[in-house]
Structures are given as C-alpha cells and as structure tokens.
A and B are shown apart, each in its own frame.
Chain A
Amino acid sequence: MKIQSIGVKKAITAILVLGLALALTACGNSSGAQTSAPPSDQAAPAQAGAQPLADEGAGGGADLIAGDKVRIGVFSDKPPFGYLDANGDSNGFDIYIAKRVAKDLLGDESRVEFVLVEPATRVEYLESDKVDIIFANFTVTDERKEKVDFALPYMKVALGVVSPEAAPINAVEDLKGKKLIVIKGTTAETYFTENHPDIELVKFDQISEAFQALKDGRGAGLSQDNTLLFAWARENAGFTVGVSALGRKDVIAPAVRKGNEKLLAWLNDELKKLGAEQFIHAAYEAELRPAYGDSIDPENVVIEGGETR
C-alpha cells in the first residue's frame, strides 16, 4: 500500500513539473506576438541591418540603449497627452515630443517602441528596466526622485478639482464631509492623504474608471493634474474646474532608470536643444491647443529647455 502510494505521488509530481514546463515553453513562443508599437514599426527589422550606417548621421545615441529600438513608456487613455487614436496608434502631446526624441536619438522616428503604461506602474517599468524612458505625464516629486532620475521638465502642472456645474467645488473647504475621487499612484492621492486626511477619498486604478465614477455621481469632485482636467471639462459639458491650482506648482518631465547617467545627460542636452527651437510650443500648438482652446495661455503650461520662470 505504502509503496504504491509513493509511486502515485512521484508520478503526480513528474506530471506537474512536465505540465508547467510545457506551459512555459508554449507561452514563451506565442508571446512574441505581443507588442504595443504602432504599425509603422513593421519596417524596423529591415532598418536594423543598416543600423551602423544610419547611426553615423543620427544623434549617435545607439550606445545609450540596449536594443535597436528605444522603448518609451506612454499612456494609452489620457488624451490629450497620451492616447490611442481610432486606428490604435499612439498620439498626443507626450508622444509628439517622444517621437522627436527617438528620431534625434536613433536617427529614425520609427525606431521607437511605445510601451503602454498605467499611472501606478510607471516607476516599476523603469526600475525593472522594461522601458528606457517614461514619457507619460510624469510629475516630478521628491518621493519619485528616490526611485527614478528625472530629466529637465517640459511642462508645468498643479492639482485641480473638477466637479459638476450644478454642485461646484470652488475651494478645498467645499469638500468637507464629501467624497473626492482620485487615481491611485498620482500626486493628487498623495496631496490629499497628507494635507487633508479628513476628506474621504474614493480611489480608482485607472483614469477612465475615475472619470466615469464622477459622471455617475460617486464623488462630489475629482482631483487630478489641472492640465488634464481643463481638457476634460472642455469636452464634457456640465463639468467645471472649480479649483484650478492647488498644492505645489509641480513640473512634468521624462524619466530614466536610476543611475542611467549617460541617457539622462543625453536627454537633458536634447531638451535644451528642443528649447532653443521652441519645439515644446510646436507640440502645444499641435496637440494641446485643439483640446484646451484659446482660454489658456501656453506659457502657463509649456517649459522650454527646462527653464521654469
């Protein structure tokens, strides 16, 4: 009896191990199909062969990254900064700048792989070296500085609170005893947790969920970066940004993995170069003005060459 039962168990263990091994190899093969890069990247393998030649004329940044494409983390559902259009291609203010950075780094705009990230996973993607640069509306904070290296900023931001016009929140005091919607891992969550612990927060993982919750009346207001809220309130009738600048005036910058000094230095030089030709203003005109309209002064949003005035 005993001997047989051991035999059965050995067989079981063997099958378990075999099954897991099979599963591993099977999935490993199929996973190659998963890429979030835009269709234009399909031409890339052909270019990879000609890479040494192409790099001569380009920014010569090929030695700064591991692969033959620069992996840039961007948002996929945060218009007008980073979103997928109807064809599934990445677009927006961040992407406009990121494409130019990729072009200057590797000599070709198509040698970029956009990796779609969530607010809460941006630091993790950098720390585990799954992207080279994060270009996803990344607000510079002291806490994040301990984990990633920020380059020069390209945008200014403060927190805002958007609320229904029928019951507007015009000051933080209006939130007493009410629920405020925030998104996990954002500066809004940190600000209200630290400075207004008496306000009850309703937290969501994803941006789209949070806005939907506001529409469904699951909170009196929603706090996020004011730049995003201006655009959203303009698109959604019946909502107003009652509190437009709260907390510290923060800046938004691309970030690289902690200690990646070469890429950081290159990125800073690049942003200064772009500042000299007023490229961020061009990006504003192309991507943000259509969303904000003329009510907002670009100088309140754009930073050229990393210089905050």
Chain B
Amino acid sequence: MLSSGLRVFFEGRNMARLMAGLLVTLKIALISIAICFLAGLLAGLLMTSKRPAVRAAMRVYLESVRIVPVLVWLFLVFFGVTRAWGLNLSGELAAVLVFVFWGTAEMGDIVRGAIQSLPVHQRQSGMALGLTEAQIYRHVVAPQILRRLLPASINLATRMVKTTSLVVFVGVTEVVKTGQQIIEFSNSKNPAAAFWIYGLIFILYFLVCYPISLLSRRLEKVWAY
C-alpha cells in the first residue's frame, strides 16, 4: 500500500513540477541570502555607529522587522505597494524584497553582536598603533568577527530557505505548495501520496540546507586564528 504510493512521482509531470518548485525555492532563498549577507555586514556597522541618530534609526528598522511577521510584510509589499502606487510587483520580486529587508536586519544584529563582543582593548590597541578607523576594521575587527558570526548567520540562512514556504501567499508556487497541489489531486486514488511527497520535500530541504552547514564548518576552520 505504502510503496505503491511511490507512483505519484511518475504520474504526468509531477516530478518535473516538484523540481521546478525547488528551483523557485532556491532562487528566492539564495538571491536573498547573498544580498542580505553583504548588506547585513554594513547594517551591522551602522548599528555600532557612534552617532545616536544612526543607531536609533537602525533600532527602529530592526524592531519593525522583528515585531511584524514575515507574512504580513509579504502582504504589505505584494498587495500594499500595488494599491498605494499602482506598481505591480511580481510575487517573486516581492518575496526577495521582503526576505532581503528581513535578513539584512537580522544579519546586521548578528554583526553588531559580533563586533561588540570584541574586547575593547583590541580596538584601542589599533588606535594606539595609529591605525585609521578603516584600517582598524580591515585588520583588527573584520578577521575576528567573521568567524564569530558564522554560526548565527548559518542559522539565519537555513531559516530563510525554510521560510520560502510562505511565498505561496503572494502567488508564487514553490516546492511545498507544488507538493500540496499534487497531494490534493492524487489523494482519491493514492492516499499514500502525502507520505511520499512530504518525504521527498524533507530530503530536498536537507539537500539544500546541509551544504550550507558544511560550508560553514569549512569556513570556521579556514578562518580559525
């Protein structure tokens, strides 16, 4: 009974559709992660700025991302922007915008934490040597914080991959929604379809997220001091 459910993968274009769904998931997640990791480094610097106004602005940004659920941001950007300015963003673009907006704030906070965890004498020593602010970041701060922010940022990356399942609400059919469509269609003839489809989705998510963890482990060794 259970193994006969496997046939769900070979009916029609089901397998191709699941792979297409996975590509959508990957595209949104990887573009967002790449952008927000870079932007997050800069956001982190701004969060540790000496100017109270800059810090306050970043604080408002971070809190607004934290307080408002990602789903609400998706609705705001996808439907709200169209209603307010008549600008018709595609679902994928809206998703990437929201993910970058969210990821940059969280990444920035991770970077801020890493910078502030550096003992103050590191920076003072740099100043005593006559290094400029930029030189201190380049030669003293950056090499040390990169390794410190790895674990938290890898968590953020895998979380972003998994949160892509929300983009169905802005009309983007990613891998989980594709699976559900196939399950609902196959249910009558093949009640075991849900087991196999969700099983495959589980494996696919693992195949996406595991290399990210491997990369982080490798980087931790490379950047060891």
- A is bound by B: yes
Interface positions of A (Cβ within 8 A of B): 1, 4-5, 8-9, 12, 15-16, 19-20, 23-24, 26-28, 30-32, 34, 36, 76-79, 83-88, 115-118, 120-121, 124-125, 127-130, 205-209, 212, 234-236, 291
Interface size class of B (residues with CB under 8 A): 35 or more
Residues in B neighbouring A84, C-beta threshold 8 A: 181-182, 185
- Chain A residue nearest to B96 in the complex (CB): A27
Known: A19-B39, A28-B93. A76 touches B79 (CB 8 A): no
Q: A86-B11, A87-B12, A235-B187 are in contact. Are A121 and B169 (CB under 8 A)?
A: yes
Contact status of A130 and B82, CB under 8 A, knowing A23-B31, A31-B92, A88-B12: yes
C-alpha gap A23/B134 in the complex (Å)? 26
CA distance A84 to B186 in the complex (A): 10
Min CB–CB distance B132 → chain A (angstroms): 5
Of all chain A residues, the one with the shortest Cβ separation from B166 is: A205
* Contact status B185-A127, CB under 8 Å: no
Evaluate whether A128 and B191 lie within 8 angstroms (CB atoms) in the complex, with A85-B185, A208-B184 already known: no
Hey, which bits of chain B sit against chain A, CB under 8 A? 11-14, 17, 24, 27, 31, 35, 38-39, 42-43, 45-46, 49-50, 54, 75, 78-80, 82-83, 88, 90-93, 96-97, 100, 132-134, 137, 168-173, 177, 180-188, 191, 194
Q: In the bound complex, how far is the Cα of B39 from the Cα of A262, in angstroms?
A: 48
Select A31's contact among B17, B39, B45, B90, beta carbons within 8 Å.
Answer: B90
Residue in B closest to A207 when the chains form the complex, CB atoms: B184
A36-B173, A118-B169, A206-B180 given; A236·B191 CB < 8 A: yes
Which 6 A-B residue pairs are closest in the complex by CB-CB distance?
A86-B12, A31-B90, A235-B188, A208-B180, A128-B82, A77-B184
Of chain A, the residue at the smallest CB distance from B82 is: A128
- In angstroms, how far is the closest chain B Cβ from the Cβ of A22? 8
Residues of B within 8 A of A9 (CB): 46, 49, 54
Do B79 and A118 touch (CB < 8 A)?
no
> Which residues of the partner chain A approach B45 to less than 8 Å between Cβ atoms?
8, 12
| 9 residue pairs bridging A and B, Cβ less than 8 Å apart | A4-B132, A5-B50, A16-B39, A28-B90, A79-B184, A118-B169, A125-B171, A212-B194, A234-B188
Distance A130 CA – B77 CA, assembled complex (angstroms): 13
- Docked-complex contact B42 and A88, CB < 8 angstroms: no
Q: How far is the CA of A64 from the CA of B170 in the complex (A)?
A: 25
Asked if B96 and A12 make an inter-chain contact with CB atoms under 8 angstroms apart, the answer reads no
- Residue of B at shortest CB range from A212? B194
A27 touches B92 (CB 8 A): yes
